[in-house]
Amino acid sequence: MAGRSRLADVGAEVLAAALARSHRADPVAPRSGGPAGNARLTAWTGLVLLVLFLAELVTLVDVRGLISWHLALGVVLVPPALLKTASTGWRVVQYYSGGAPYRQAGPPPLVLRLLGPLVVAGTTALLGTGVALVLLGEATGRRALFSVLGQRVDALTLHQAAFVMWSAVTGLHVLGRLLPAWQLTLATRREVPGRRGRAVALLVVLVLSGACADWVLAQPGGWRSVQHHGSFHGRQPGTEEQGRPPVPG
């Protein structure tokens, strides 16, 4: 009975946080904003990432035809993902190292705390394998790295597996964080010190994202050649003789 009651309490805590019915009372510090400013930066960065990830998901409708957009948006996601990881990582370090304002604010619900590292791992794996594919190019990206149960595994397969993992954990994360992020950003007029610094950080990240996209689009050939040759979902020349099945889209 005690275990069931505890589980119900945890569920109620997560639901209240997800619906923004309860939230941490983040102390406000001068200049940077302290925990309150950190929460604002994390929330704004999360919303930027959500919009970009949704745009990236749209390209999956026709990866072959939208491969240039898929590649560009993939690298555009890297700088804001790093910023969000840094902002949440800073809060974690401050909390567990005994920073008074962050200890006063307290941790998020236990389930969201456990989910956080999985989101970071999934995002790192997804974007990391994606960038690796851009650098490797199509031919090397489809070259077998190892085999599992007789199935050849290449860099593209790892990217697809990372996408499945990322989709599961990030979907849960968004459900738990979307409404609180909305309240911290677009649904409040409360001023928190450090607004200019947070705006500059986001602007720098977006400029870096644009530079990354420009770099990818300037690369000759590579994966973008599938837009013309139509090989992204099909077999590479010669793979029929090797007995390799088509790569799923």
- Checking if the pLDDT of 168 tops 70, the result is yes
Hunting for tokens 């007789």 — which residue is that? Answer: 150
State both tokens at 164.
């499945």
Contact between 83 and 95 (Cβ < 8 Å): no
Say what the pLDDT of residue 7 is.
76
Res. 3 pLDDT band, cuts 50 70 90: low
> What pLDDT, on the 0 to 100 scale, is given for residue 241?
40
Average pLDDT over residues 154-182: 95
Give the pLDDT mean for 211-228.
74
Percent of the chain at pLDDT exceeding 90: 64
DSSP 220-231: -SGGGGHHHH--
pLDDT at residue 21, as a whole number: 76
- Which one of 17-21, 37-41, 66-70, 238-242 scores highest in mean pLDDT? 37-41
Q: How far apart are CA 11 and CA 29, in angstroms?
A: 32
Domain boundaries of the chain, sorted by first residue? 31-230
pLDDT > 90? residue 91: yes
Q: Which residue has the higher pLDDT, 156 or 6?
A: 156
Q: What is the mean pLDDT of residues 161-183?
A: 95
Considering just the CA atoms, what is the radius of gyration of the chain in Å? 21
Lowest mean pLDDT among 67-71, 125-129, 201-205: 67-71
C-alpha 107/C-alpha 100 separation (Å) is 13
Residue 220 above 90 pLDDT?
no
Asked if residues 224 and 66 have their Cβ atoms less than 8 Å apart, the reply is no
Q: Across the chain, what does the average pLDDT equal?
A: 87
Contacts of residue 33, defined as CB under 8 A and 6 or more positions apart, other chains included, come to 40, 192, 193, 194, 195, 198
In DSSP terms, 146 is beta-bridged to 153
Mean pLDDT of 12-31: 83
